[in-house]
Every structure is written in structure tokens, then in C-alpha cells.
Amino acid sequence: MEDELQITLTNDYAFKRLLGSEENKPLLQDFLECILDLTPQQVLDLEFMDKELTKEEFSDKTGILDVKLKLTDGTVIDIEIQASWNASFVKRTLFYWAKMYTADFKAGESYGSLHKCITINIIADGFRLNDAIHSEYLLQEKTAHTVLTDVLEVHFLDLQAAKKAKEEGKAAGKQGQLINWLRFIGATNKEERKMIATMSPVLQMLNEKIDVLTLSPTERKLYESRMKLKSDITTISETQFSAGVERGLAEGKSLGLAEGKSLGIAEGSRQKAFETARILKQFGDSVQKIVQATGLTVQEVETLN
């Protein structure tokens, strides 16, 4: 008998498959109510959208969003699942927001026709900005902290912070529901997921859908490849960092310890970027996505074997 596939929603393919589909729209609506403090009526008729960001020139960067949708009032929302935090992620989410904000704007239209755009980023590990479970960033005046406009919202949801919450699942109202959602998404095995699901009828429904989920051979291969990719990149990160430090210590004999270590770490980081790009390329990711993920140039990515 074939081994049972352990589904985790921190896998971007599984997340999109389960929460980015029409049949599971009511489950996603519940999740959005918890994050954005919306009423059921505000998310009742949400519409899934094309997830590929448009570009005006051939040389422009593009991108593929995990889940993109529109509310009845025209608000556009992007939901991204990220396995681990990296230094470029803030700029990446602002890039996606900017593309969404101007995507449907036509020459001659009034600026008043531009709709509110929200990016929601679910970070599985390594969130660095603060210790909060849910962070919301807006455009504010520096001293008075008055909001300039509500057209921009950037949300970060830290799965590790939710996991460490002292009163797991016991907070009142939507905050408690959100914690349960995040713990469920971050669950790493069937037993943990089942236990958390008992706290919410919606999560019980989602858990049942995960349990009965049947993947075609092609889909299963894609899911497993994304999990392998996550492990490979983590291993590369650790290996290249260690190698960089060792090279830096060796260089330190002639350059000075601090300079040598800095040089080694820089070289290790660059080698990590190249190795990561090679893996992403093997799995068929576009050149644009690889450039965004690694910081390499288009030319550097295209010349990799």
C-alpha cells in the first residue's frame, strides 16, 4: 500500500488547492472574517481572480499570487503562504500590492476608481518584524499616527507566535478563532490537525476535506516536490552559511577576523542564492519568480544549468 501523504497547509500547493477553490469558498470567507474583522455579509460574494500579476513592459517583473480575490465593494486581496521569512519579503509584498493597485486602472479614468488592496502574508517560520501573532501595517503620519488612507493594508500572520500563544484556542471572539486557524494551518501532522479542528465547525469541515483529499499522480508529485524543495532550500541555507563562516575565518588570517568573516558570509550567501536558483529552476519556476526569491539578476538565472 502506498504511504499516506501527510498534508500540511504550509505547503503553498496544498494551501491554494484547498483554500483557493470555489467549492471551499465558505471556509476562506470564515478565515477572512477573522483576519480583517469583517461581517459575513462583507465577504458573502467574494470573487476569485486571475492570480498572475500583469506587466506593462516585457522587462517588467511579474509574479504569481497564492490566492487572489475581490470583495463586493471592489477591495482586492492577495493571500500568500511563506515557508520561511527572508529579508526581501517586505519589498516583495509591497511590489505585489503596487501591481494589484494599478492592475485595472485605465488611461483617462478618475483616480477615485482605484480600489483598496490588501496583502495578507502567512509566515510559517522566522518572522522578524515583531512578536505579534497578527500585525497590520497602514500608511500613517509619522508623529500623529493619523491614517493617510485606507487603500493600503499589509498583514502578517506569524504561525510560530500562534503556536506559542499561552491560551491556545481560548481567546475570545475572532481573535480566538484566528489563533485556531493559524494553529491549524501550521499543524505538521494529522493528529495535531484533528485536535485543533475540534475547536471550530469550519475547521472540522476543512479537516475532513484534507482527510479525503485525493491527489492525482501528477498533483501528488507536485505537492511532494514543493515539500522537497522546502527541505532542500533549508539545507542549502544552513550548509552555505556554515561554509561561508569557515571561509571567512580562513580569510581572517590575512584580512583580519571581522573582515574575513564578513567576506565569507557574503560569499556563502551568494552561493546559497545560486544553489537555490538551480533547485527552483529544476522544478520549473519562472525566471521572474527565481529572481524575486534569490536576488540574482535575470542574466545570472538564465545562464544556470
DSSP annotation of 76? E
Closest CA to 118 of 180, 17, 42, 56: 42
Would the pLDDT of 234 be above 90? no
Q: In what order do the strands lie in the sheet with 76-82?
A: 47-48, 67-70, 76-82, 117-123, 147-158, 134-140
- Determine how many CB atoms are found less than 10 A away from the CB of residue 74: 12
Closest CA to 264 of 241, 244, 249: 244
pLDDT at 64: 45
Q: Which residues, at least 6 apart from 220, have a Cβ–Cβ distance to it below 8 Å?
A: 5
Quote the CA–CA distance of 126 and 84 in Å, as a whole number.
6
Q: How confident is the model at residue 281 (pLDDT cuts 50, 70, 90)?
A: confident
Least confident of 41-50, 105-114, 241-250: 241-250
Alpha helices in the chain (DSSP H): 12-19, 25-36, 89-102, 159-163, 173-186, 190-197, 201-211, 217-255, 257-282, 287-294, 298-302
Residues 55-112 have pLDDT tens digits of 343 333 334 457 889 998 899 999 998 888 888 889 989 998 998 898 888 878 888 8
Instruction: Tell me the whole-structure pTM to 2 decimals.
Output: 0.68
Is residue 238 a contact partner of residue 271, using CB atoms and an 8 Å limit? no
Virtual torsion, Cα 47, 52, 58, 61, nearest 10 deg: 110
Task: Report which of residues 77 and 220 the model is more confident about.
Answer: 77
Q: How confident is the model at residue 140 (pLDDT cuts 50, 70, 90)?
A: very high
Mean pLDDT, rounded, of the chain: 79
- Adjacent-strand bridge partners of 8: none
pLDDT at 53: 41
* Parallel, antiparallel or unpaired: strands 117-123 and 76-82: parallel
pLDDT at 277: 78
> Average pLDDT, stretch 113-128?
92
pLDDT at 133: 95
> Average pLDDT, stretch 118-136?
93
- Give me the phi and psi of 117, to 5 degrees please: -130, 135
> Average pLDDT, stretch 264-268?
64
Residues 179-202 have pLDDT tens digits of 999 999 999 888 999 999 998 889
Is residue 185 a contact partner of residue 171, using CB atoms and an 8 Å limit? no
Quote the CA–CA distance of 280 and 67 in Å, as a whole number.
20
Q: How confident is the model at residue 1 (pLDDT cuts 50, 70, 90)?
A: very low
Cell matching residue 203: 475547521
Residues 148-185 have pLDDT tens digits of 999 999 999 999 999 988 555 456 678 889 999 999 99
Would the pLDDT of 219 be above 50? yes
pLDDT at 61: 39
Would the pLDDT of 2 be above 70? no
Q: What single letter denotes the amino acid at residue 62?
A: T
pLDDT at 143: 96
Quote the CA–CA distance of 267 and 244 in Å, as a whole number.
6
* Parallel, antiparallel or unpaired: strands 67-70 and 134-140: unpaired
Share of the chain above pLDDT 70, in %: 70
> Average pLDDT, stretch 223-243?
59
Using DSSP, state whether 113 is helix, strand or coil.
Answer: helix
Q: For the chain, give the number of residues.
A: 305
Closest CA to 176 of 134, 206, 135: 134
- Determine how many CB atoms are found less than 10 A away from the CB of residue 298: 13
Least confident of 12-21, 57-66, 157-166, 247-256: 57-66
Q: Which residues, at least 6 apart from 89, have a Cβ–Cβ distance to it below 8 Å?
A: 82, 121, 123
Would the pLDDT of 4 be above 60? no
pLDDT at 63: 42
